[in-house]
Amino acid sequence: MPVTPAEKTPLCAFARCKAPLPPPGPRGGRPFEYCPDRAWPGGHTCKQLAAAEAALTEALEAPPSPNLSGSTSVFVTAATQVLHPLEELGAALRELKGATTTELREAAEQVDRAKAEAAQERQAREHAEAVAARSVEAVTEATGAKAAAEAARDEALADARTAREEQAAAMKRREEAETVQRGALLDLARVTAERDAARHQAEQSTATAAATVAAITASADQRVQAATEAQVTAREQAAELRAELTSLRNQLSERTTRLVAAEATAERLRAETEQRVERITAEAEAKLDQARAEQDRRAAELGAQTERADSLQRAHDHYRRVVDRVAVLAGAHSASDEPEVTRQTLEAVAALTRERPDH
């Protein structure tokens, strides 16, 4: 089926236009949907009228019918009439917006200037506070300096009082020193007199000492002579004592040798004695053990003999009782000559004889 030129060329989307649309530019791009250059009465474009028609359709909740084309024209005319005041209102609003923007800008600038002034005032206040703080510190320092000056003044007054007191004490010490000096001069005179007397006495003592030294020297010479003689005698006595000491040492050596031999002999005798004592002790213990064993054996034999003696004693007592009973029976029946009585008596004696003694 052949294709017509109308099917190849796109048309304007506005229902009242449907004019062919120009192709895209030489660079290509998106194809046109509405007429780009057509203007309707009132300077409206196809796109604006299509948007108004869409708004009308939305308001009527149904697409406009062909019978509403006149109404659409009327609507377009009314819209054109209303659009001019709206454009004027828009221009007035734009002017108002510009004026408002200018006023807001000026107000913002005023706010910025106020903020800057407030910052400057804040800085000035902080500077003033810092100056006031420094002033307070200066006042405090001045007060401290004043207090220090007053303390220094009090200290100076105290030093002055101390100096006056020290001056008075110095005057007193000078007077005391003068008194001491006068006493020292008197003491010096007295000491000088005593020195002269001591010198005279020393001279006399020197003469006396010289005589005494001469006498002592003579006596010492005599004593040295006597000591020399005594030394010679002592040397002779020492030689004799050394000879005697040598003899005593020899005797001591001999006695030491004898003592060592005696100690060895005593040690040998002690060892032999210990061995003999041990042997005798062992023999005595063996004999003691034998004696204990013999004593135990004899004690056992004695016990057995004691038991036999007890048994014999019991038998003796038993037979004595038998004899006593026989004697009693014999005395009871001695007057009877009957054979039966005699027989009974003998049977009783035999019965007593057969009885075993109590153990």
Residue predicted with more confidence, 90 or 321: 321
CA distances from 130 to 122, 134, 140, 230, 345 (A): 12, 6, 15, 115, 166
Supply the Cα-derived Rg of the chain in whole angstroms.
87
pLDDT at 345: 64
Question: Residue 262 pLDDT > 80, yes or no?
Answer: yes
Question: Residue 75 pLDDT > 70, yes or no?
Answer: no
In tens, the pLDDT along 325-340 reads 766 666 665 555 566 7
CA distances from 32 to 15, 35, 46, 47 (A): 15, 7, 12, 11
CA distance 359 to 355: 12
pLDDT at 1: 44
pLDDT at 41: 82
pLDDT at 74: 56
Q: Give the residue-averaged pLDDT of 185-206.
A: 77
> Quick one: pLDDT band at residue 63, thresholds 50, 70, 90?
low
Residue predicted with more confidence, 74 or 257: 257
pLDDT at 216: 67
What's phi and psi for 12, nearest 5 deg?
Answer: -65, 140
Question: Residue 71 pLDDT > 70, yes or no?
Answer: no
Identify the H or E element spanning 44: strand 44-45
The C-alpha angle with vertex 5 and arms to 3 and 6, in degrees rounded to 5, equals 100
pLDDT at 5: 46
pLDDT at 2: 47
CA distance 91 to 95: 6
Identify the H or E element spanning 45: strand 44-45
What share of the chain in percent tops pLDDT 70? 76
Question: Residue 322 pLDDT > 80, yes or no?
Answer: no
Question: Residue 138 pLDDT > 80, yes or no?
Answer: no
Question: Residue 163 pLDDT > 80, yes or no?
Answer: no
CA distance 207 to 92: 156
pLDDT at 12: 93
Q: Which of 207-216, 267-276, 313-322 has the lowest mean pLDDT?
A: 207-216
Residue predicted with more confidence, 199 or 268: 268
How is 100-139 classified by DSSP, letter by letter?
HHHHHHHHHHHHHHHHHHHHHHHHHHHHHHHHHHHHHHHH
pLDDT at 8: 67
pLDDT at 11: 92
Pairing of strands 39-40, 44-45: antiparallel
Q: Give the residue-averaged pLDDT of 140-145.
A: 77
Q: Which of 197-201, 285-289, 325-329 has the highest mean pLDDT?
A: 285-289
Residue predicted with more confidence, 208 or 243: 243
pTM as predicted: 0.23
pLDDT at 100: 76
pLDDT at 257: 92
CB atoms within 10 A of CB 134: 11
Average pLDDT in the chain? 78
Contact between residue 79 and residue 52 where contact means Cβ atoms under 8 Å apart: yes
Q: Give the residue-averaged pLDDT of 337-351.
A: 63
How is 296-348 classified by DSSP, letter by letter?
HHHHHHHHHHHHHHHHHHHHHHHHHHHHHHHHHHHHHSTT---HHHHHHHHHH
Q: In the beta sheet, which residues pair with residue 197?
A: none
pLDDT at 82: 59
pLDDT at 154: 84
According to DSSP H, which parts of the chain are helical?
5-8, 46-60, 69-332, 339-354
pLDDT at 93: 77
pLDDT at 20: 92
First to last CA, the chain: 172
pLDDT at 3: 46
In tens, the pLDDT along 166-194 reads 888 878 888 887 887 787 688 778 868 88
CA distance 121 to 129: 12
The C-alpha angle with vertex 303 and arms to 301 and 305, in degrees rounded to 5, equals 70
